[in-house]
Amino acid sequence: MGRPPVFSPETKTRIVLSVLSGEVSVAEAARKEKVSEQSIGRWKAEFLEAGKTALAAGKSGPSTREAQLEAQVEDLTLALGEAAVELRVWKKRVESSRVVYDGPE
């Protein structure tokens, strides 16, 4: 017996939405898509749980992209701070190593 087919998230969403909307039953969708009823039931449960989680979070939390950008800003701010400290260290080294030239002796 071979591996079950791999369905894209878009295909799973289409199947689940057709079941939720009443267009087809779980059994009909399973026969049509050549997948088990258990798989469609699991996809439906995951879909509904993710929707519930998204509604509970609402607009209060940052999106994934916002979180990525915030992390990037934090990394860049840290790098800028480190570069500023390093620059000060280099300036102090240069200033302390300068030999004052008073002209010909």
pLDDT in tens, 22-78: 999 999 999 999 999 999 999 999 999 988 888 887 766 667 888 899 999 999 999
- Tell me the whole-structure pTM to 2 decimals: 0.52
Q: Per-domain residue ranges for the chain?
A: 1-60, 62-97
Number of H helices, E strands in the chain: 4, 0
Strand intervals (E) in 5-55: none
Distances (CA, A) of 21 to 9, 14, 17, 36, 103: 18, 10, 6, 19, 92
Single-letter residue type at 59: K
In CATH terms, 1-60 corresponds, of 3.30.1390, 3.30.70, 1.10.10, 1.10.287, to 1.10.10
pLDDT in tens, 71-103: 999 999 999 999 999 999 998 888 888 766 666
